[in-house]
Amino acid sequence: MKRLAMEPAPGSFLKSLRVQWRVIQALMMREVITRYGRENLGVLWLIAEPALFTLGVSALWTAAGLNHGSSLPIVAFAITGYSSVLMWRNTASRCNSALIHNFNLLFHRNVQVIDVFITRIMLELAGTTASFTLLSLFFISINVISPPIDLLQVIGGWLMLAWFGAALGMVLGAATAYSELVDRIWHPTSYLLFPLSGAAFMVEWLPQRGQDVVLLLPMVHGVEMVREGFFGDAVRTHYDASYMALCCLLLTLVGLLLVRDAGRRVEPP
């Protein structure tokens, strides 16, 4: 019978990479079926779920007039804002519960802790990105919002938010292997961070002191970048891409260190 060569020769980086990619694909398919099943929309819920959230919030904000009398189109304001929140909040929350739900998968030699996180991060980012894109396209096509002034800028800001979400997810996900407290504390924290995250306001609207405080939060810079791309000169934005990149870099580093160590710490739930 044909045997498997599952332990790649040491140093065979490409081979390991291939195994890892295969494992991540398998995990993604499993995750999607597990989460959404095969009934009704199935995998499309990955996009529909964030889209429904965003639509609901957009409707609420429109009703509440959250653009504060500025000339900004409220629908575009809500979509850019709320989609940005989903980028970091959902990714982090999904990673938080990843180890508890997937411990048993670690019985398969090829499945490592980091694969579990990468899977959830990729799915979450893909779903939110698709929902953001589709909603934007839809509202542009029916002339409710106008196309972004600078698409590249939108993509740039979006990628920064994705990086932030992925790094935050890894840090929080791996930290749950150290203490259950992480999960408990993350819920109130994410709730409190939401109003500060720049989703529901432009930094420009705040007094100087408020601006200084809010700009300490990395995701605020990402939202500002996306909105500058969307609205162009209609808004005055405040951001520092290098500051955000530095924060993401640090988080990524901490995340990778924690993930490596989480592999040694993780115990059966």
Partner 1 sequence: MILIDNVRKTYNTRLGRRTILDGVNLRLERGRNVGILGRNGAGKSTLIRILAGAEQPTAGRIHRGMSVSWPLAFGGAFQPHLTGLDNLKFVCRIYGVDYRTKVDFVEDFTELGVYFKEPVAHYSMGMSTRLAFALSMAVEFDCFLIDETMAVGDSRFHERCHNELFVKRKDRAFILVSHDANEIRRHCESACVLHQGKLHPFPTIDEAYAFYETATL
Applying CB under 8 A, which residues contact partner 1?
1-7, 19, 22-23, 25-26, 29-30, 33-34, 37, 103-111, 263-264, 266-268
Expressed in percent and rounded to 5, the helix, strand and coil fractions of the chain are: 75, 0, 25
Measured from the CB atom, is 203 or 266 closer to partner 1? 266
- Find the shortest distance in angstroms from Cβ 53 to partner 1: 23
Measured from the CB atom, is 26 or 234 closer to partner 1? 26
- Find the shortest distance in angstroms from Cβ 127 to partner 1: 18
- Find the shortest distance in angstroms from Cβ 180 to partner 1: 13
206 is written with which tokens?
């705040």
Measured from the CB atom, is 101 or 254 closer to partner 1? 101
Angle in degrees, CA 207, 213, 218, rounded to 5? 125
CB neighbourhood size of 186 (10 A): 20
Instruction: Residue 218: name the closest of 168, 184, 256, 176 by CA.
Output: 168
- Find the shortest distance in angstroms from Cβ 50 to partner 1: 21
24 is written with which tokens?
């991540």
CA 214 – CA 216 distance, rounded (Å): 5
Q: What is the dihedral of CA 125, 131, 136, 142, to 10 degrees?
A: 170
- Find the shortest distance in angstroms from Cβ 94 to partner 1: 16
36 is written with which tokens?
């959404």
